[in-house]
Each structure stands twice: as structure tokens, then as C-alpha cells.
Structure 1
Amino acid sequence: MYDRYSFSLPKEKIIRRFEIKVPGTIEPQYNISPGNTISVITDLQPKQLTKAVWGISENRKTPIHKVFIKQDTQKTTPQTTQFLTQRCIILADGFYLWKKVSYKSRIPYRITLKWNMPFAFAGVWQYESHNNNQISCAMITTDANELIAPIATKMPLMLPLEQEKTWLQTNTTLPEILPLIKPYSSDQLRLFPVSGQINQLDMNIPEVTLPSQPTDQFGNYVLFE
């Protein structure tokens, strides 16, 4: 499972890091889950932060919040190609994965850049069918890198800083986009266990981002992983 992440950068630092305008106030989000309103930058407004709902519904009972594209793919499905025509980046500073250690037990882990800097996931967006003033988005995922492979087979598509603008350029073609779809380098990431409090969706507190002794979703300490 990799459908939780965080973004807690203060407004002033968002403006400097992403070189954008940030209207209104920004609240830290330490435990983001599908259905939440999140901070994105779209190809339509690349110089301004936009708020989007995480999960594209398209009249489905279950909204799409992740779109998997295999690394080094040479082609995409028509659905994916259509998705990739409206691109965005999803602002983040870490994400969470759960490692299965037994039939029932799973340990939460957090993944960040080694130097704890903010970054962006590749995403796609569209207008909500019932409200053209509201957009929704989905996160692009791809094959897991060496660091994450022991825990999960897939990971969010993290964009290196120099590729963020390429992803957002409206004149970027699909053949130019596909080479960007690859796992982020393992040697630039760190992974560590966090508190089982992250399992509770309402625990939007900084403590869930901190290293912790491994515990499963029931709060039981795990001696051997």
C-alpha cells in the first residue's frame, strides 16, 4: 500500500522552491490520503499553486488515485495516453509504505529524500464533471527501485528537480514524457519505520513523520522484520 504521503512546507518556502504564486493559506499535511484536497501545480497554470482533490472519479464508484505505467514502456493504453495530456506535479516531502511481516501484521515506513528536501510526484488532472471550477488528480506510479522493492513492487513516480518543468510543459510530446517514467534513484532516498499512528487517517500530526521503533498496525512492537 502506498496511498499516503505528506507535504508540510511553509508558504514562503513553497514560493521559493517551486517558483510559484501561492494564494491563500497553506496548512501542513502530515498524513494525506485519497479524497483529501492537496497542493499541485498544473500544466494549465504552471506559475501558481492549485488545490485539487486526490482521486479522479469519472463517474466511477471508486475514484482513480494512482495510474501505473511500467518503467521503460514503449507504449501506453489509450486511457493512459488520454490521462497524460493533462499533467500536474503533486507537491510532497515524503510518502509512506507498509511492509508485510506476517499474515496480518504490517509495519509503516516513511520514504524521503536523504537531505529532507521537498520534491514532486508526477501526476495527471482533470476537471470534476459536476464542477468545472474544481479539479481532481491522480498520481503516476511505476516499478519500485532497489530500496523499495523488498516492501512493494511499485512506487510513486518522483520527478528530479530538473524534470519538473518538462513534465508541466504543454508542448512536451508523449515520446518525450515516457523516458521520464522510471524509478527514483535509491541512493538519494532514505527509508525508516514510523509510528503506527500513521494508520489513523485523522492523525495529521508531525509525530507520524518521525523515525520510530517498528510497530504494526495494531501497535505491537516488531523485533524482527
Structure 2
Amino acid sequence: MCGRMAITLPHAAMAQVFDAVASNDLPDVPNYNVCPTVQVHTVTSDDGLRRLRPMRWGFIPHWYDSPTDGPLLINARSETIATKPAFRQAARTRRCLIVASGFYEWKRIAGEKPLPWYITRADAAPMAFAGIWQDWDRDGSAMATCAIVTCAANAAMEPIHHRLPVILSPGDWGKWLGEQGHGAATLMTQVADDALHFTRVGTAVNSNRASGPDLIVPIDPDAHDQ
């Protein structure tokens, strides 16, 4: 799964990388501790025009009467996305890219604090997670919401966690966004083991209130009490 991430790229740079027009209400950057239910940076495409726009991280199905009417849906499993009632229409027609500099995952060892790792692309390029989105509206309270598509972990990720976000390469962005016809389902696969870089970071990020660049500072991978 993916339950926390960081985004450090300036808005103008994000718009350039994704060849998108930036909205004027994007979340502030940098943010080293992006948590579920906050606004995240997404890219959508409408008739070939890409927009860099904010969405709530936490997909809200149209039948929810409130954002808390059911489970918090921050991830969508690639194996079942096409059949789950909450996700299947979005998987066909409302796909997006969710932008991050990296994400956090925790290795859990019985009797010890969860040990956080910060994961980035090995080439240090921005990450583009496969995402789906949904407009939700009740009594005039409207918002765009999204979830990250996940797949089984690759061999590099498996020692830390059994799930992994679907991370799209630049050549696949257009297909996922529907700009190149059909075939998006074939993209919901693991990245290569050598495509990711893993950094052990301190346990300060275990708190969703933590902030600042110190959260991604490397520490000794064998340290358990930082």
C-alpha cells in the first residue's frame, strides 16, 4: 500500500515535467509528510489537455453521504480495481497521475517500533503513481477525490512491505491518462527491482504531525530507536 508520501518539486517544475497547465489552488510545497485526506497533486487529461490539479487523497464513492460514511479508500488494488463497485467506473474512465517525490513505508518487527523507509525512483525523477479519481458532491459540498493504484511488491520492496504503488514511466503516462487509446490495464504491474532507491529514515515520521526536510534524512539501516 501507500499511506504517506512527500512532494518537494515546485509547481512550475511539476507542470513542465508533466506538460500540464497548473491550477492556481495547488497544495503548498514542499511537504515532507503528505497524509491521507489532504490535497495532493494530480494530473488529468481532457481531450489531450493535461491539468495539474489538487484532489483529496481518499476516494469517495458517489453513494457516500459524507466523506466518513465508509472506509477511507486511499489505495485501490490492481487485482480487483476492475470489479470493485467503488472503483470500476473510475478505472475505465477517470484515471489520473498522482505526483510524489517519494513515499514512506514501514517495516514491522514484532515487539519493536515500525521502522520507516523513504522510497524514491533510483534516477531521482518525480514519481507518477497510477491513480483513479471521483467527483463527490452532497448538498453543494463538492470535491475531487483520488486513490493510488497498488500491486504486489517487487523483490526489492518485499522485505519491507507486500504492496507497492503502481509507478508509471513517462512513456506510459499518456496511455494511463487515456490519450493513447486502450491498454491502461496492462500498466498495472511492478516496476523493476533496480528502479527504486530505499533510504532508512528516522521514526519521527511515524507521527502524521511531523514535518520538515529532516524526515527524509538517511540514518543507519540497522538503527531501531532513532
TM over 0.5: yes
Deviation at 1:129, TM superposition (A): 2.4
The match for 1:7 is 7
Identity over the aligned pairs, expressed in percent? Answer: 26
The match for 2:166 is 157
Task: Tell me the TM-score normalised to structure 2 length.
Answer: 0.85
Structure-to-structure mapping, 1:50-65, within 5 angstroms: 50-58=53-61, 59=64, 60-65=69-74
Q: In structure 2, how many angstroms separate the alpha carbons of the residues matched to 1:10 and 1:212?
A: 26
Does residue 99 (structure 1) correspond to residue 107 (structure 2)? The answer is yes
Which of 167, 175, 179 is residue 166 of structure 1 equivalent to?
175
Q: In structure 2, how many angstroms separate the alpha carbons of the residues matched to 1:101 and 1:117?
A: 31
Task: Tell me the TM-score normalised to structure 1 length.
Answer: 0.86
Q: In structure 2, how many angstroms separate the alpha carbons of the residues matched to 1:98 and 1:153?
A: 11
Q: In structure 1, how many angstroms separate the alpha carbons of the residues matched to 2:18 and 2:192?
A: 21
Q: In structure 2, how many angstroms separate the alpha carbons of the residues matched to 1:132 and 1:83?
A: 20
The match for 2:116 is 108
Which of 191, 211, 219 is residue 212 of structure 1 equivalent to?
219
Which of 21, 29, 32 is residue 31 of structure 2 equivalent to?
29
Q: In structure 2, how many angstroms separate the alpha carbons of the residues matched to 1:123 and 1:81?
A: 12
Which of 194, 200, 212 is residue 207 of structure 2 equivalent to?
200
The match for 1:178 is 185
User: Root-mean-square deviation (CA), in Å?
Assistant: 2.2
Deviation at 1:160, TM superposition (A): 0.8
Which of 76, 79, 85 is residue 82 of structure 2 equivalent to?
76
Deviation at 1:144, TM superposition (A): 0.5
Does residue 40 (structure 1) correspond to residue 42 (structure 2)? The answer is yes
Q: How many pairs are equivalent?
A: 213
| Paired letter, 2:13 | K
**Which runs of no fewer than 5 residues in structure 1 stay unpaired?**
none
Deviation at 1:2, TM superposition (A): 3.1
Contact 2:78 2:150 in 1 (8 A): yes
Deviation at 1:171, TM superposition (A): 6.5
**Which runs of no fewer than 5 residues in structure 2 stay unpaired?**
none
**CA separation of 1:182 and 1:207: change in aligned 2, threshold 3 A:** same
Decide which moves more: 44-53 or 194-203: 44-53
Q: Deviations over 1:80-122 (max 9, x none)?
A: 4323021110001101110012234310001111121112000
Q: The residue matched to 2:205 in structure 1 has which SS?
A: helix
Does residue 19 (structure 1) correspond to residue 19 (structure 2)? The answer is yes
**CA separation of 1:212 and 1:190: change in aligned 2, threshold 3 A:** same
Q: The residue matched to 2:14 in structure 1 has which SS?
A: helix
Q: The residue matched to 1:38 in structure 2 has which SS?
A: strand
**CA separation of 1:170 and 1:126: change in aligned 2, threshold 3 A:** farther
